[in-house]
Chains A and B, each alone.
Chain A
Amino acid sequence: MLTQALTLVATSSDPDAMHLTGPTRAAGRFCGAWGMMVAGIAGCSGNGAGLDVNGRPVEGGDAPLTAQFESIQRNVFTPVCTACHAGAAAPLGLRLEEGAAYAMLVNVPSVEVPQRARVAPGAPDASYLVHKLEGTAAVGSRMPLNGPPLDAQTIQVIRQWILEGAQPPVSVRSNKSRMPAPTLSALWPIPDARLVEAPKAILLAADAELDTTLLRAGTVRLTYGTSAESNPEPLDVTIEAPTLAPTTIAIKPLVAWRAGEYELRISGSAPLSLADLAARPIDGDGDGVAGGDYVLRFSLEHDE
């Protein structure tokens, strides 16, 4: 069809005559060629038979939008946002396709305004995602770019999901993820070590660069005594990680080491988990999938 149309225009007219002396004929030829193309292409659009609203084969039918992540994924992120925000070429690295969106959003600093999280659980007004959808972001255009804005009701549902703590989808709650997850390993002390001398610090290594903004009290917990005991004592700690290539962590208690059992626990599960720069939660329990806490136990034989 395209070839026919181009041939028609290219061979059946004097170009200059079209332009200068025969505007009516030229318009007829141009529109005729165009009409042929449109007719040919228009017949190619899908009729949607057997597909859901996202153009995927039906699996259980469409469900209305609710303040659950799965529902927002299915009704907003997938049909609207993944037109651009998908795959390796996703703008600003923000992937919103199923399986990646939650880890890319919750507690992850935005690229445009790094001091704001894309989604701050419990705080929709502080969440950059809401700013972008409502058109109040400090940087850049309202989303969806080049498309009509989301209606107020849809944005309100997203606000409600964030207000309710931005609960993860079932797949994340059950520690399932198809993406490879970073893992931690203890450099010193080694697991279950019995130390004669107090360590200068607990040193951990990661096989991916970590999001150091997540290294805080909510994700790192050192206790005097292990969780197997009835009442382990939480210890205040300092946490250090290099700014460049943050793949190591140094953790030190703010009090002197005492003889006894210690347990370091780093969260890899909701609601707040340590993650790498791609927002992939750590595979703390080493089962090959993201999620699960990393636990290091050791003991010290003498006081510092």
Chain B
Amino acid sequence: MRATVAIEPVSARIALVFVWLTLGAWTSVQAEPYFAVREGLACVACHVNPSGGGLRNTFGTTWGQTVLPAQRIEEEGLPMWTGALGDYLRIGGNLRSSATHADVPPAGGSDGDATSEFDLEELRLYLDLAVIPGRLAIYFDQRVAPGGSTNLETYVRYASPDQHWQLKAGQLYLPYGLRLEDDSAFIRQVTGIGFATPDQGVELGWESPQWSAQLAVTNGAAAGAETDEGKQASLTATYLQPSWRVGGSFNFNDSDAGERRMQGLFAGVRTGPVAWLAEADYIVDDGFAEGRRRLWVGLVEGNWSVRRGHNLKLTAEYFDPDTDVDEDEQNRFSAIWEYTPFQFLQLRLGARVYDGIPQNALQNRRLYFLALNGYF
């Protein structure tokens, strides 16, 4: 999609973005697969990145200003923000801050503890430089706060003339399963594939109305230094229909630290105002001190669009850290009210309940949070 923003409004937008960032009122909506399920769209419909997450394209930016919020604050005399600064450059960002209260019960001889904190979780800026619009682009995803700047994604992306094939090379997020925004979800944390663990390599993708597939071959070092000859292959494929989708993922990491194989199935279905997501993964990891472990991890999530701008997200998760050990399973339940009062701003009020073995306090903690999320 081409930019339609004129030069003068661009300057005004940049100034506006700067002011917003300076005020620290921006946070994020990023990579929420339930949006895609609810709308019956592929990730690439809203994101520059065909496998989802990060910078939104013109459609995604517009959707986030018109369909998502409870109301839209009209801006007199200015065209709608699309993220495009001319024909070649597109920018975007996410900022997330939160107030969290954590209750850790007494367990295993340790005293209980409670903490409350305000936290600037992250400010990420995106830039897509389309040197040949529609065909060849350079993409950056930079985490600039808190602390110093860290690069998360930098890659060159080439698209075939018919846009079906995409080739990326550089540092990128791995394709595997549902690309949830919540990196603390078991299916993200245990698989080790999240927004904190990009890797360096190449990715080949295929996009069509019914299919979305990506195959990445990377170092397998989760952005750390490569230390061996082994490489990681990660494959995910999704069959898309307007009201449902189903997909499968496979990952193999050949490492001197021990081979790791993951395979999983995921699905999404829309039933009226509720968008459901589910994923289950089976992991075989040879990298543990005692040798091989087999793990199961799963998630079921329901997102009820109560009314425009309001979403109730309920999540149940399951984690079996070792199938050879009984009574070590863990659960996590979340209830989150997401309220998007107007464009670019979302509030999240939620609770997460961890339910694990009684002797481990952290596996039984409770988190209560209010998050301020913004996006542009």
Number of residues on chain B facing chain A (CB within 8 A): 83
- How many angstroms from the CA of A14 to the CA of B224 in the assembled complex? 51
Would A46 and B357 count as touching, CB distance under 8 A? Answer: yes
The answer, yes or no, to whether B71 is at the interface (CB within 8 Å) is: no
Would B289 and A97 count as touching, CB distance under 8 A? Answer: yes
Would B221 and A93 count as touching, CB distance under 8 A? Answer: yes
- How many angstroms from the CA of A92 to the CA of B328 in the assembled complex? 27
Which residues on the B side are within 8 Å of A50 (C-beta)? 326-327
- How many angstroms from the CA of A106 to the CA of B187 in the assembled complex? 31
Report the minimum CB–CB distance from B364 to chain A (whole Å). 9
Chain A residue nearest in CB terms to B367: A148
Chain B residue nearest in CB terms to A94: B224
The answer, yes or no, to whether A231 is at the interface (CB within 8 Å) is: no
Report the minimum CB–CB distance from B255 to chain A (whole Å). 4
Chain A residue nearest in CB terms to B224: A93
Contact mask for chain B residues 250-266; partner A; CB cutoff 8 A; 1 contact, 0 none: 00010111111000000
Would B302 and A49 count as touching, CB distance under 8 A? Answer: no
- How many angstroms from the CA of A26 to the CA of B274 in the assembled complex? 10
- Give which listed residue, A37, A47, A88, A98, contacts B255 with CB less than 8 A: A88
Would B356 and A10 count as touching, CB distance under 8 A? Answer: no
Would A55 and B289 count as touching, CB distance under 8 A? Answer: no
The answer, yes or no, to whether A151 is at the interface (CB within 8 Å) is: yes
Known: A41-B316, A94-B224, A111-B223. A89 touches B191 (CB 8 A): yes
Report the minimum CB–CB distance from A246 to chain B (whole Å). 12
Chain B residue nearest in CB terms to A42: B331
Would B183 and A97 count as touching, CB distance under 8 A? Answer: no
Chain A residue nearest in CB terms to B331: A45
Chain A residue nearest in CB terms to B182: A146
Chain A residue nearest in CB terms to B285: A87
Chain A residue nearest in CB terms to B120: A141
Would B329 and A44 count as touching, CB distance under 8 A? Answer: yes
Known: A18-B272, A99-B289. A91 touches B328 (CB 8 A): no
Known: A9-B271, A84-B189, A88-B255. A51 touches B357 (CB 8 A): yes
- Give which listed residue, B224, B317, B358, B359, contacts A92 with CB less than 8 A: B224
Which residues on the A side are within 8 Å of B184 (C-beta)? 145-147
Report the minimum CB–CB distance from A117 to chain B (whole Å). 15
Q: Main SS of chain A's interface residues?
A: loop
Which residues on the A side are within 8 Å of B223 (C-beta)? 91-93, 111
Would B355 and A42 count as touching, CB distance under 8 A? Answer: yes
- How many angstroms from the CA of A4 to the CA of B272 in the assembled complex? 17
Would A140 and B225 count as touching, CB distance under 8 A? Answer: no
The answer, yes or no, to whether B208 is at the interface (CB within 8 Å) is: no
Within 8 A of A (CB), among B162-213: 183-184, 189-193, 196-197
Chain A CB within 10 A, most for which of B258, B274, B276, B318? B274
- How many angstroms from the CA of A22 to the CA of B20 in the assembled complex? 39
Q: Which of A56-64, A215-223, A260-268, A283-291 contacts B (4 or more CB under 8 A)?
A: A56-64
- How many angstroms from the CA of A107 to the CA of B123 in the assembled complex? 31
Which residues on the A side are within 8 Å of B312 (C-beta)? 30
Would B306 and A23 count as touching, CB distance under 8 A? Answer: yes
The answer, yes or no, to whether A15 is at the interface (CB within 8 Å) is: yes
Would A88 and B287 count as touching, CB distance under 8 A? Answer: yes
Would A57 and B113 count as touching, CB distance under 8 A? Answer: no
Would B146 and A141 count as touching, CB distance under 8 A? Answer: yes
- Give which listed residue, A56, A91, A112, contacts B325 with CB less than 8 A: A56
Report the minimum CB–CB distance from B28 to chain A (whole Å). 14
Would B272 and A13 count as touching, CB distance under 8 A? Answer: yes
Chain B CB within 10 A, most for which of A64, A95, A148? A148
Would B109 and A64 count as touching, CB distance under 8 A? Answer: yes
Would B328 and A51 count as touching, CB distance under 8 A? Answer: yes
Would B327 and A49 count as touching, CB distance under 8 A? Answer: yes
- How many angstroms from the CA of A10 to the CA of B270 in the assembled complex? 8
The answer, yes or no, to whether B148 is at the interface (CB within 8 Å) is: yes
Chain B residue nearest in CB terms to A57: B325
Would B225 and A41 count as touching, CB distance under 8 A? Answer: no
Known: A9-B274, A48-B327, A62-B108. A277 touches B362 (CB 8 A): no
12 A-B pairs in the complex with CB atoms less than 8 angstroms apart: A26-B272, A46-B326, A46-B329, A46-B357, A51-B325, A53-B107, A88-B192, A89-B197, A90-B192, A97-B287, A137-B147, A180-B256
State the 6 A-B residue pairs at the shortest beta-carbon distance, nearest first: A93-B224, A15-B272, A89-B192, A48-B357, A146-B184, A46-B327
Known: A44-B329, A87-B260. 17 other contacts (CB 8 A): A2-B300, A30-B304, A34-B302, A45-B355, A46-B356, A48-B356, A55-B325, A55-B360, A88-B192, A89-B191, A91-B197, A95-B287, A100-B257, A112-B150, A145-B184, A278-B256, A278-B257
Interface set of A (CB-CB < 8 Å, partner B): 2, 6, 9-10, 13-16, 18-19, 23, 26-27, 30, 33-34, 37-38, 41-42, 44-57, 62, 64, 79-80, 83-84, 86-95, 97-100, 111-113, 137-141, 145-149, 151, 178-180, 208-209, 276-278
